[in-house]
């Protein structure tokens, strides 16, 4: 069983004790990500995540790196479009140390100017690495084409220009605005005592004042279209897809079942038709992502330039067949079992349990019970899948492609003679 407490200043504390395991996972979830950045701030959430590891008033960057390593623990963080999470995994006996390190990083980071300049260089190298990975980059290209001129369409990492322009004052102002206690969720799962977690949070955060930053959300306007980039590579990397559903949509469980059956695994229609039957691609699959008021549904394929049109034709044919005929009863049953099995096996990990607590609190304002999710998955009908397929797959389509230059590009640039 989990426990939920809310301090007077708004910070939410979630804990799930599992005394039968030896480890515990702790996460500080910040309801802040690249979605709330201005165009000039693009990448600041991600940069801030880097900078809290670079030293506090009590700890150097090396101290932060060594203290959990010295007890066999693990410390890390990630930034997403609508959340930032700082997390640790340790033996239960070392949970107070993990809490002290994480809270110190969030509350007392110094953001030394010289460290900021060094870390901006690190992030610029990270951007270059990402730019050199067409298989990953094509997903950013897809989001930008789906939601042009909206923060959800921008990469979380920012651009070289915006990252280079970030200053210490910008980081301090952003922290003050978006790292307020009423935007923080502390989640913990594993070998722990809930009273101890609540006490630690109260001591570290209890005196902080709630923030007054309004988190107005402007829904993105969906645009269809095609965007292509040429690279000196051998394979075409394709993202083909549509706007999806918000994270809180009542149809999200039907979409999950549709996704698994359509492109979510080795037994899916796309995998069987495109890879197994036709041998057109090594990588083929689909996924959906939900945000507060929007979402995306994306199919990725890696194929040869010569077979790109055939792959896209099969994708469109299979999508239309799904919209017209729906799934079979066996496909739906298999998808339901896959989703339930994956979710329940994930619960054997304390890190997954902690993440589930934090994510559901951010999106639903409560912890969504596992039994509730299982019941919703089991209640999905064939008609519900067909309806959500028509809603999503009949929307404005977006195609993003990164691959080798076409022959005409070489011909145009070839010298005369």
Catalytic residue IDs: 49
Residues of the chain by 3-state class (helix, strand, coil), percent to 5: 50, 20, 30
Buried b (16+ CB within 10 A) or exposed e, 354-373: bbbbbbbbbbeeebeeeeeb
Task: Label residues 308-342 b or e (16+ Cβ within 10 Å = b).
Answer: beebbebbeebbeebbeebbeeebbebbbebbeee
Burial-class residue 110 by CB neighbours within 10 Å (0-12, 13-18, 19+): middle
String of DSSP letters for 181-202: GGGEEEEEEES--HHHHHHHHH
* CA distance readout (Å), 210 to 86, 177, 179: 20, 10, 10
Return the closest-CA partner of residue 305 out of 411, 413, 414, 408.
Answer: 408
The answer to whether the CB of 357 falls within 8 A of the CB of 367 is: yes
Whether the CB-CB separation of 237 and 299 falls below 8 Å is answered with no
For 412, counting Cβ atoms within 10 Å of its Cβ (0-12 exposed, 13-18 middle, 19+ buried), the class is exposed
């Amino acid at each position: 069983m989990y426990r939920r407490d809310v301090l007077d200043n708004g910070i939410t504390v979630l804990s799930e004790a599992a005394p039968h395991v030896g480890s515990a996972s702790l996460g500080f979830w910040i309801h802040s990500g690249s979605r709330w950045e201005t165009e000039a701030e693009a990448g600041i959430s991600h940069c801030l995540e880097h900078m809290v590891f670079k030293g506090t008033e009590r700890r150097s960057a090396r101290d932060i790196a060594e203290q959990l390593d010295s007890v066999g623990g693990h410390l890390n963080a990630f930034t997403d479009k609508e959340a930032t999470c700082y997390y640790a995994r340790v033996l239960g006996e070392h949970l107070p140390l993990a809490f002290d390190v994480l809270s110190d990083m969030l509350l007392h980071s110094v953001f030394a100017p010289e460290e900021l300049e060094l870390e901006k260089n690190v992030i610029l190298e990270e951007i270059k690495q990402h730019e050199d990975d067409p298989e990953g980059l094509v997903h950013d290209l897809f989001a930008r084409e789906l939601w042009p001129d909206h923060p959800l369409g921008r990469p979380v990492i920012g651009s070289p220009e915006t990252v280079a322009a970030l200053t210490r004052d910008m980081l301090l102002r952003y922290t003050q605005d978006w790292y307020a206690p009423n935007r923080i969720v502390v989640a913990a799962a594993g070998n722990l005592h809930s009273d101890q977690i609540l006490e630690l949070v109260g001591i570290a955060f209890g005196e902080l004042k709630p923030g007054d930053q309004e988190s107005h959300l402007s829904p993105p306007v969906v645009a269809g279209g095609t965007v292509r980039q040429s690279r000196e590579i051998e394979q075409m990397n394709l993202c083909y897809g549509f706007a999806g559903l918000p994270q809180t949509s009542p149809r999200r469980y039907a979409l999950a079942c549709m996704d698994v059956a359509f492109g979510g695994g080795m037994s899916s229609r796309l995998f069987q038709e495109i890879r197994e039957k036709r041998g057109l691609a090594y990588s083929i699959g689909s996924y959906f992502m939900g945000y507060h008021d929007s979402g995306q549904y994306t199919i990725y394929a890696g194929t040869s330039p010569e077979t790109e049109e055939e792959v896209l034709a099969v994708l469109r044919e299979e999508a239309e067949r799904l919209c017209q005929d729906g799934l079979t009863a066996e496909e739906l049953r298999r998808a339901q079992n896959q989703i339930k099995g994956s979710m329940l096996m994930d619960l054997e990990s304390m890190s997954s349990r902690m993440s589930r607590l934090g994510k559901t609190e951010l999106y639903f304002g409560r912890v969504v019970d596992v039994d509730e999710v299982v019941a919703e998955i089991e209640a999905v009908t064939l008609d519900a899948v067909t309806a959500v397929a028509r809603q999503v797959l009949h929307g404005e389509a977006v195609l993003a492609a990164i691959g080798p230059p076409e022959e005409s590009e070489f011909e145009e640039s070839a010298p005369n003679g």
